[in-house]
Amino acid sequence: MNSSVYFLKSLEDVVGNLSEVGEIDGHPIATIGGVTVAIPEDLAGKLQGLVGSRIGVLRDDQGSYRLKTGRH
C-alpha cells in the first residue's frame, strides 16, 4: 500500500472534514482533515454519503473503528 496512507493505532483518532473516500491498491481509504487513513471496508460504505462533512474516526483498543458525525 502507498506509504502516504496512515494506519490508526489503538485509541488513536482523526477528526476533520471528510474530503475523499476511495481505494489505493484495493484497500479502502478516507481523507479526513488532510490525512489519508486506511479504513475497514464496512466503514468506507458508511462514509460515502458524508463527503464534505466534519467527522471523527476512532480506532478503539479492540481494533474496531467508531464514527462520529455532526448528524443526529
In angstroms, the CA 61 to CA 72 distance is: 25
- Per-residue pLDDT tens for 12-55? 999 999 999 999 999 999 999 999 999 999 999 999 999 999 99
Cell readout for 49 is: 454519503
Residue 61: pLDDT band by 50, 70, 90 thresholds?
Answer: very high
Amino acid at position 61, single letter: D
Cell readout for 64 is: 474496531
pLDDT for residue 72 is more than 50: no
pLDDT for residue 66 is more than 90: yes
Residue 5: pLDDT band by 50, 70, 90 thresholds?
Answer: very high
pLDDT for 70: 78
Q: What is the largest CA-CA distance in the chain?
A: 35
Q: Is 59 exposed, middle or buried (0-12, 13-18, 19+ CB in 10 A)?
A: buried
